[in-house]
Amino acid sequence: MTRTSVLWDYAPAPEATDHVRLADRFGLFIDGEFRAPVDGRHVASVNPATEEPLAEVAWAGIEDVSRAVDAARAAQPRWAALPGRDRAKYVFRIARLIQERARELAVVETLDGGKPIRESRDLDVPLAAAHFFHYAGWADKLHQGVAAREVAPLGVVGQIVPWNFPLLMAAWKLAPALACGNTAILKPAETTPLTALLLAEICQEAELPPGVVAVLPGDGATGAALVRSPGIDKLAFTGSTAVGREIQSALAGRSVALTLELGGKSANIVFEDASLDQAVEGIVNGIFFNQGHVCCAGSRLLIQESVLDEVIAKLWRRMQRLRVGDPLDKNTDVGAINSAEQLERIEALVGAGEREGAVRHTIACELPGRGFWFAPTMFTDVAPAHRIAVEEIFGPVVSVLSFRTTAEAIDKANNSRYGLAAGIWTDKGAKAFEVAKALQAGVVWQNTYNHFDPTAAFGGYKESGFGREGGAAGLRPYLRIVR
């Protein structure tokens, strides 16, 4: 007798939002206080799942940027002169306050960005706290972290973060900068400023000295003003390769240190000897995690030909079970696309994929009437030159390609201008190490994907950028080697 598979339907399980105290209006966080912007401009931050405004947020103009830079400049010598153990205590406080306000931060992250509450609750917020906790401990051990070289902070650092992991990327940027004795001006992304502003509140609660951290929401113009500000000593950017290129070019001829964490088109390689069911779970996590809004998403799936049909069938079956919808629902796997603009970009590239002859498979599911949504999609019959195999889509869309030999897998994986991450699925240890070594990618995951840790360096090869975040290597971009 064969067992009939049972499909459950899930009752809605929305996370409550009544414990969240979100102000109606946020100012710019400059010199330890929330202030009105010079030009008085406020823009609503919108919930991408409902298109409803969440709060009015001040956007910083050039004068605001320059005020924040001046305050950071004034605060920097005293911050750097604090004994490391005291700087550490402030950063430890921030870590603890994030833990204390974890539930609130998770809900706001999900409301503002559209990501499933399961992810913001279990990954974004705990990892953000862990990053502050990790780097706090470095503050009094800096020279041991850089091979016993004599070091000094860089000074005032500008930090521009993306909308896909708003709080987590703010933590990746601020934690090492502060531990190293720099003062920082953080510019959150235009669509997701709210958790960065809550983090500014946390800096106040932690009694961080005024000027050590500024938070300046705004769009590309605010970012450009920060990049062009003559008062910064270093700029750290996470975002697209196109904007990274503009920033690198804008800093030409200036002695401003730069680190870039940019785009990717990461290969996820499935060998025939992999545990295929486990691999399918990893493929799903690799590309549908956070709606595919992940710079290291496993968006190029390379499957060995002998198991190609089997893996595609299993993956397609698994994709049908993905629950797309209300990001606040604890059962949701795929939430809302972050913005109308991003949805348009995804649709344009998916359209190009269809026109170029790849075969599109999009799961049938009911999408909410309002908000920005894109159903999980797989492309088969993809040629290596297709745009969907070359360009970053930054959405829940995976392109399937195949290979015969290990050497071909390595060649195909490396045949990209990007080099951020890669996945390897095999149960053969020697093969995994061989392939991991040969891949031009800053992070290589074997039999897992999208795993992050504050102790493990993260960053790209080639046009995926330069500089590392995480671990001792993450101190280096915020320190000058004296000798």
CB of 139: closest distance to another protein in angstroms?
18
Question: Binder to another protein among 43, 82, 251, 390 (CB under 8 A)?
Answer: 251
203 is catalytic: no
Question: Binder to another protein among 16, 252, 364, 430 (CB under 8 A)?
Answer: 252
**Which of positions 133-192 make contact with another protein (CB under 8 A)?**
147, 149
- Lookup: tokens for 157: 């650092």
Judged by CB under 8 A, does residue 432 bind another protein?
Answer: yes
Size of the site for another protein (CB under 8 A): 49
CB of 130: closest distance to another protein in angstroms?
7
Q: Which is nearer to another protein, 66 or 406 (CB)?
A: 406
261 is catalytic: yes
Per-residue binding string, another protein, 261-290, x by CB under 8 A, is -x----------------------------
The stretch among 48-56, 72-80, 248-256, 398-406 that binds another protein (CB under 8 A) is 248-256
The stretch among 137-145, 185-193, 389-397, 462-470 that binds another protein (CB under 8 A) is 462-470
**Catalytic site residue from 190, 261, 463, 469:** 261
Question: Binder to another protein among 135, 372, 445, 478 (CB under 8 A)?
Answer: 445
For tokens 């705990």, name the residue.
126
Per-residue binding string, another protein, 196-235, x by CB under 8 A, is ----------------------------------------
CB of 196: closest distance to another protein in angstroms?
25
The stretch among 19-27, 45-53, 298-306, 428-436 that binds another protein (CB under 8 A) is 428-436
Residues with catalytic roles: 261, 295
Residues that bind another protein (CB under 8 A): 130, 147, 149, 241, 244-246, 248-249, 251-253, 260, 262, 417, 419, 429, 432-433, 436, 441-448, 451, 453, 455-459, 461-466, 468, 470-473, 476, 481, 483
